[in-house]
Each structure stands twice: as C-alpha cells, then as structure tokens.
C-alpha cells in the first residue's frame, strides 16, 4: 500500500509522528506547546514530614507537574504510591492551572515511607519522604483550642491535660496567636503559638514582669521517675525581646522555662541577650542555688532572634536524690546544632555527666513543667508591653526523646 506524503498530514495539523509513544511531537498541541510531563522538572513534596501511625493523622503530598521547559501542566491525572505497609492514600486527581495536585497519606505502621508520583505513565524523579511514628508522649499541647488571652485559650483546653494558670490570671502578658497572623509561622511547627509579652511594672531595674503567665500542667499527667528512669521535655521557642536597639541589659534571672513545684526549682532555662542574639543557659538548682551552664561556657554562643528553635532536654534520675541532664538543641530545619557537651559554667565545669541533688522539693517536683517567665529585669526599658518570646508544641515523654512535632500527636 502506498504511503501518503507527510504534507498530506500537515494540511490537517497532524504530525507524521502523531500517535508514536514517547515522541516529542506527540506531546505538542496544535499551537506547538509541549504538554509532555518532564520527570526531572516535576516535583513532589510532603508536609508535615512526620505523622503519627494512628491511621488518621495525614501528611499532604503536593505534586507539581512541568514540561521540559519548566512550564506547569494542567489537567494531568496524578497517581501516588508509597513504600511500606498499611498506608491509606487519597489520590490527588488532576493538576490545576498551576500544575499542582494534592493528595494525602496516613498509616498504621511506624516507618519511613517514600512516596512516588506517576502521571501519564511517567514516573516523577523527585520523591517525598513521610515518617509515621509511634508517640511516647504523656503530655502534649499545641494551643489549638482558641486564639486570644482567655483562660481557655491559654490553658489549651483541647490538650490531654490543660495548663494550670500558676500565678495570677490571664490577659496580662500571655495570649494564643495564629502564627501566620503574627508573622512567626516560618519554622513554627503548629498553626497557633503561645505569645508572651513583657509588661511594664515600673522600677529602676526590675521593671518588666510577666510572673502572672507562668503555667503548670495539672499534677497527675505523669509520675515521678524511679531510679534509672527519666523525664524528657520539649518546647519550640522563638526569642523576640529586646527587639529594637536593645533598650538595656537583660539580666540573667529570666527563666522562661522551668521545672518547679511550689516555690522551688530543680532546673530552669534562662537567657540573656546581646545585640543580634540571645544566649541560653541551663540552670541546675540545688537547695535554692543555681549552677549556671551557658551555651559556649566562658565564651557564650548567641542564637538568632526571630528564629524558631526546638529545645529538648532529659532529666535522668541516677539515684535516690541525684539527677543528670542532657540537652538537644535543633534549628528550624530540624538539624541538631548543640547538646549538653556545649554547655558549661564560666569556670569550665561541663554539663555532660554533671550530677546534682534534686531541689528543695526533691524528686516529687519532676511532675511539673512551667512556661512563661519569671522576673526579667531590664535597665532603661520604656513603659508598655512588647513580645518577649513565643512557644509552640510543648511535650513530655517518660520513655524517649520527644522528637520533632508530629501532626496529630497526643498521649
């Protein structure tokens, strides 16, 4: 049979190679636009990267399809698959005008999962990783009850154990804010965050105070550890104050996170500031007197303001009335940047392996976990209120490090 010349096809806008699988021409429209999915130019991402393996917590998988020139492709059907077992995947459907389609994954098996996207028979080179994990938490709070400064919001009544307002009332320094609305969502693991303001109370030196916003979980959320057991705690923290032109020297008595029972401390996180940064210290209290371990020791290391960090620490009960502490300090990307070996006193004593007796209230005080602040003193501060810091995703475990915030986490 005699074949038709190619010009006979071109009269009707059809290429000679039309219908040939994988050909460039097959992917072009009448106007010449390339509609072939490019495996290398397309993208697959997931958020959050960690979920609970409870079968209901989900990670959103976003697929962006592009052609070889990087142009987004709409109307393409995307199919997701994942490694691992017991996964529930909601398929994305077709891409929108921006070339984007989203699906979700949930699982009941704790493991890392690699997610692959396929469109029109083409497997996207890029993949996403989602880790499903088992929670070991005995307390978790992300302040998602409500925003505002009401008791219900600050206590986070949706948490397994609501916070107890320890000193004073609410509305004088603590409020729950939407992180995006407050402009602090980058690096914040949760939708909402607890904002703590410094409130001017007068005085030549100690003139800023927010004692009234200290919080303490109700007793009974977890038990005090036996010898050889530990309590692991976590909080995300973002330091703001002093923010503009450093109004003065912030004293060292700024323990914004502490383990205490009644009026006695066993440990506390303190900090002081310098232009452009802040230096955290971990205070080990014995009989009302702190041994202060600074990040960097005699040569303090300053962290950035207006940046989220994940702070985790372990209190290990080594004997009847003795304990040691370990620290894990992560940046917003989740990279471990410092641990207890980086904390030392100005005289050179290192926190690693440092053993101390419990505070005045003994081991019984380890069922407490307080956030807020206690007595920051500033020279030269002005009247009014200003944000001091933000907290997010506070958690406690009695079996292992809490790890990064996981969507849906709960005891």
In this prediction, residue 202 has a pLDDT band, given cuts at 50, 70 and 90, of low
The pTM assigned to this predicted structure is 0.68
Query: At 260, phi and psi to the nearest 5?
Result: -150, 160
Pairing of strands 111-119, 128-133: antiparallel
**Least confident segment among 161-175, 238-252, 294-308, 354-368:** 238-252
Residues 6+ apart with CB under 8 A from 333: none
Q: What is the mean pLDDT of residues 158-183?
A: 79
Q: What is the mean pLDDT of residues 162-167?
A: 76
In this prediction, residue 225 has a pLDDT band, given cuts at 50, 70 and 90, of confident
CA distances from 124 to 65, 88, 121, 129 (A): 8, 21, 10, 14
The segment with the largest mean pLDDT, out of 32-41, 136-145, 284-293, 336-345, is 336-345
Helix (H) or strand (E) holding 130: strand 128-133
In this prediction, residue 171 has a pLDDT band, given cuts at 50, 70 and 90, of low
Q: What is the mean pLDDT of residues 360-388?
A: 64
Q: What is the mean pLDDT of residues 238-260?
A: 61
Short-list 78, 82, 49, CA closest to 64: 78
**43-133: CATH number:** 2.60.40.10
Short-list 408, 301, 318, 300, CA closest to 363: 318
User: Which residue spans of the chain are classified as CATH 2.60.120?
Assistant: 137-397
Classify domain 137-397 by CATH architecture: Sandwich (2.60)
For residue 294, pLDDT over 70 is answered with: yes
Q: What is the mean pLDDT of residues 214-222?
A: 70
**What mean pLDDT, rounded, does the chain reach?**
80
What tokens appear for 39 in the block? 């495996």
pLDDT at 170: 56
Helix (H) or strand (E) holding 9: helix 6-10
CA distances from 201 to 149, 206, 239, 270, 378 (A): 19, 8, 21, 21, 11
pLDDT at 167: 59
pLDDT at 374: 60
**Least confident segment among 274-278, 339-343, 368-372:** 274-278
User: Which residue spans of the chain are classified as CATH 2.60.40.10?
Assistant: 43-133
pLDDT at 2: 37
For residue 161, pLDDT over 90 is answered with: no
pLDDT at 248: 45
Helices marked H in 25-164 — which ranges?
A: 151-155
Tens digit of each residue's pLDDT (9 = 90 or more) over 77-110? 999 999 999 999 999 999 999 999 999 999 999 8
pLDDT at 371: 82
pLDDT at 375: 55
């Amino acid at each position: 049979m005699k074949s038709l010349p190619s010009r006979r096809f071109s009269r009707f806008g059809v290429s000679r190679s039309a219908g040939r699988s994988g050909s460039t021409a097959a992917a072009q429209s009448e106007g010449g636009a390339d509609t072939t999915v490019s495996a290398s130019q397309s993208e697959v991402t997931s958020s959050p990267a960690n979920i609970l393996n409870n079968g209901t917590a989900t990670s959103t998988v976003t697929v962006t399809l592009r052609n070889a020139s990087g142009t987004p492709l709409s109307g393409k059907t995307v199919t997701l698959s994942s490694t691992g077992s017991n996964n529930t995947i909601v398929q994305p459907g077709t891409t929108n005008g921006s070339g984007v389609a989203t699906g979700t994954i949930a699982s009941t098996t704790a493991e890392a999962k690699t997610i692959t996207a396929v469109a029109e028979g083409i497997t996207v080179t890029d993949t996403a990783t989602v880790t499903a994990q088992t929670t070991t938490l005995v307390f978790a709070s992300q302040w998602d009850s409500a925003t505002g400064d009401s008791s219900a919001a600050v206590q986070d009544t949706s948490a397994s154990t609501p916070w107890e307002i320890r000193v004073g009332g609410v509305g004088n320094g603590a409020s729950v804010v939407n992180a995006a609305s407050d402009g602090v969502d980058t690096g914040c693991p949760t939708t909402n965050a607890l904002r703590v303001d410094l409130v001017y109370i007068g005085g030549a030196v100690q003139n800023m105070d927010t004692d009234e916003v200290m919080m303490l979980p109700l007793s009974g959320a977890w038990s005090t550890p036996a010898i050889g057991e530990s309590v692991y705690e976590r909080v995300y923290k973002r330091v703001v104050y002093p923010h503009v032109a450093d109004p003065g020297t912030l004293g060292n008595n700024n323990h914004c996170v502490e383990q205490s029972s009644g009026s006695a401390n066993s440990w506390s996180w303190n900090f002081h500031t310098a232009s452009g940064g802040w230096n955290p210290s971990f205070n080990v209290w014995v009989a009302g007197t702190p041994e202060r371990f600074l990040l960097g020791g005699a040569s303090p290391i300053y962290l950035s303001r207006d940046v989220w960090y994940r702070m985790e620490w372990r209190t290990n009960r080594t004997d009847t009335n003795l304990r040691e502490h370990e620290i894990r300090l992560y940046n917003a990307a989740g990279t471990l940047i410092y641990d207890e070996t980086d904390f030392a006193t100005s005289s050179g004593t290192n926190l690693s392996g440092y053993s101390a007796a419990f505070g005045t209230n003994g081991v019984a005080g380890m069922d407490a976990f307080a956030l807020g602040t206690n007595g920051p003193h500033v020279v030269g501060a002005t009247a009014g209120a200003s944000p001091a810091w933000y907290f997010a995703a506070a958690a406690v475990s009695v079996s292992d490090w809490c790890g990064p915030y996981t969507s849906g986490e709960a005891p």
